[in-house]
């Protein structure tokens, strides 16, 4: 097990998680990725491999992982996901999509 640090994407407070030595982090974002399932950080323990339980971890800035410092907002650590041996990218929601209806 190793201790890995993550920065809140809003206020830069540092959170630390105890993780397996191999890393397969995809990104840290202020909002969850569409289609990813997240395990709250407080549910992690040294016996659980979060990658077998969920697609990422939900952290709350200012919770125990950040020693009480932070903005109090949740943010998300997402793991790399594979389907049929290929890395998959998160789905883009319609609200995030950019449509140009005037384009010919």
The 10s digit of each residue's pLDDT in 43-100 is: 765 444 555 568 889 999 998 877 778 999 999 999 888 888 888 887 644 444 444 5
DSSP-assigned letters across all residues of 18-49: EE-SS--EEEEESSPPBT--EEEGGG--TT--
In a domain, 74, yes or no: yes
Token output for 43:
């549910």
Residue 58's domain comprises 2-88
In a domain, 44, yes or no: yes
Domain count, the chain: 1
Token output for 18:
């105890």
Rounded to two decimals, the pTM is: 0.75
Q: How many helices (H) and strands (E) are present in the chain, helices listed first?
A: 1, 8
Instruction: DSSP letter for 42, please.
Output: G
């Amino acid at each position: 097990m190793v201790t890995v640090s993550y920065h809140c994407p809003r206020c830069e407070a540092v959170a630390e998680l105890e993780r397996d030595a191999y890393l397969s982090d995809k990104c840290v974002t202020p909002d969850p990725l569409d289609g990813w399932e997240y395990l709250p950080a407080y549910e992690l323990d040294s016996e659980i491999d979060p990658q077998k339980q969920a697609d990422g971890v939900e952290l709350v800035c200012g919770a125990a992982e950040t020693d009480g410092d932070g903005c109090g907002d949740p943010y998300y650590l997402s793991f790399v996901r594979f389907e049929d041996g290929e890395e998959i990218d998160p789905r883009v929601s319609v609200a995030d999509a950019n449509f140009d209806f005037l384009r010919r």
